């Protein structure tokens, strides 16, 4: 059965290729920092399960040290020039979109195939990782197609990938770091403490105020933790279940579903949700690393108000 494990092997190989490319890139004054960073990530993907928890912890500290000491840089890159690209664009025409669509189409068709046909039971792909496995398959198919069609130099896919990877830099592992921060917060009892605080300041009597505090609590905690998943169990235990559902008689389906979505409004407004807010700013080469967040605030706040109203009127019909 193909599971996450094989994808980790693929990812490790790609990061190793980035590391080797970095080490050979004389145009990058900090090339050894880049090489070390991507090598450590390759080690994590290949041997993470063998390192043990403390070994992985040391690996994390090493990644942090490299990033914290500003040891990562960017090379000049040896991609094609803008004029060459215009030329290629004219020459290949709209067929250029086809390889780009191979990845989403493989994921799309494959997920449907492995979720709604007898293939689901065939046991080829780990059901917990179907879309990601198909994403990996799409990447391989697309790479093979490009290789046959464009006949690029052998190292080109990795050099071009590295060009993008270096523009993201250390931010690439921030989401994974935040997930481990969540694990430490949970182990240290931060959630319980916040829950106790929240239930201590909740006023009795006003249902609307309780609804608003539940939603705002989701937003605040989501913004701190970077995702609504960590916030939900805490706010449900502090306000959602005891005050809104048990005392107020609210519809649990609404309190649960819309409470989570109120938290998503917080995700739109926090740098801690790095993969959604910081990584794209790097990928799009924005000058302001908070540019995406700034753009999202004017959607997030009215949407939060809408969610509070849905909570209040739909849960207490």
Partner 1 sequence: MITYWPLLGIALVVVGFALRFNPLLVVAVAAIVTGLLGGMPFLKVLATLGHGFNENRFVTLPYIVLPVIGLLERYGLQQRARALISSIRGATTGRLLIVYLVFRQAVSALGLKDVAGHAQMVRPLLAPMALAAAEKQHGELDEDTDEQVKAMSAATDNVGLFFGEDIFLAIASILLIQASLASFGIALTPLQLSLWAIPSAICAFVIHGARLLLFDRRLGRRK
Measured from the CB atom, the residue of 1 and 164 that comes closer to partner 1 is 164
- Between vectors from CA 188 to CA 185 and to CA 192, what angle results, nearest 5°? 80
**Which span sits near partner 1 by CB under 8 A: 28-36, 49-57, 117-125, 205-213?**
49-57
Contact between 293 and 269 under an 8 Å Cβ cutoff? The reply is yes
Contact with partner 1 (CB under 8 A) among 16, 142, 212, 239:
142
Phi, psi of 125 (to 5 degrees): -125, 135
Instruction: Describe the chain by its helix, strand, coil percentages, rounded to 5.
Output: 80, 0, 20
Measured from the CB atom, the residue of 151 and 204 that comes closer to partner 1 is 151
Q: Which two tokens stand for residue 203?
A: 């006023």
Closest distance of CB 27 from partner 1, Å: 17
Contact between 22 and 31 under an 8 Å Cβ cutoff? The reply is yes
Interaction of residue 316 with partner 1, rule CB under 8 A: no
Contact with partner 1 (CB under 8 A) among 67, 198, 210, 219:
67
Contact with partner 1 (CB under 8 A) among 1, 27, 76, 86:
86
Interaction of residue 14 with partner 1, rule CB under 8 A: yes
Contact with partner 1 (CB under 8 A) among 43, 114, 258, 312:
258
**Which span sits near partner 1 by CB under 8 A: 28-36, 105-113, 201-209, 211-219?**
105-113
227: region left, alpha or beta (phi > 0 left; psi from -120 to 50 alpha): beta
Residues 167-226 that bind partner 1 (CB under 8 A): 168, 170-185, 187-190, 192-194, 196-197, 224
Mutual orientation of helices 207-225 and 228-235 as an angle, nearest 10°? 140
- Number of residues in contact with partner 1 under rule CB under 8 A: 146
Interaction of residue 238 with partner 1, rule CB under 8 A: no
131: region left, alpha or beta (phi > 0 left; psi from -120 to 50 alpha): alpha
């Amino acid at each position: 059965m193909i599971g996450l494990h094989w994808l980790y092997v693929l990812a490790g190989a790609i990061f190793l290729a980035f590391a080797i490319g970095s080490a050979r890139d004389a145009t990058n004054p900090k090339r050894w920092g880049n090489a070390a960073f991507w090598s450590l990530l390759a080690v994590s993907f290949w041997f993470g399960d063998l390192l043990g928890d403390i070994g992985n912890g040391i690996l994390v500290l090493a990644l942090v040290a490299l990033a914290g000491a500003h040891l990562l840089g960017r090379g000049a890159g040896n991609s094609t020039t803008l004029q060459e690209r215009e030329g290629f664009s004219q020459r290949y025409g709209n067929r250029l979109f086809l390889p780009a669509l191979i990845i989403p189409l493989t994921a799309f068709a494959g997920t449907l195939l492995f979720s709604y046909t007898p293939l689901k039971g065939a046991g080829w792909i780990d059901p917990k990782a179907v879309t990601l496995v198909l994403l990996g398959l799409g990447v391989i198919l697309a790479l093979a197609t490009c290789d046959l069609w464009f006949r690029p130099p052998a190292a080109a896919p990795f050099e071009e990938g590295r060009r993008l990877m270096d523009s993201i830099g250390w931010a690439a592992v921030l989401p994974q770091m935040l997930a481990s921060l969540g694990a430490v917060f949970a182990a240290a009892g931060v959630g319980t403490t916040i829950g106790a605080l929240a239930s201590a300041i909740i006023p009795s009597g006003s249902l609307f105020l309780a609804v608003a505090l539940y939603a705002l609590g989701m937003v605040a905690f989501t913004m701190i933790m970077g995702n609504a998943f960590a916030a939900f169990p805490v706010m449900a235990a502090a306000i959602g279940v005891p005050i809104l559902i048990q005392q107020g008689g609210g519809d649990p389906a609404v309190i649960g579903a819309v409470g989570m979505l109120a938290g998503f409004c917080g995700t739109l407004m926090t740098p801690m949700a790095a993969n959604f807010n910081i990584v794209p700013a790097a990928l799009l080469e924005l000058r302001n690393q908070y540019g995406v967040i700034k753009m999202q605030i004017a959607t997030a706040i009215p949407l939060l108000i809408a969610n509070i109203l849905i909570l209040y009127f739909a849960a207490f019909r």
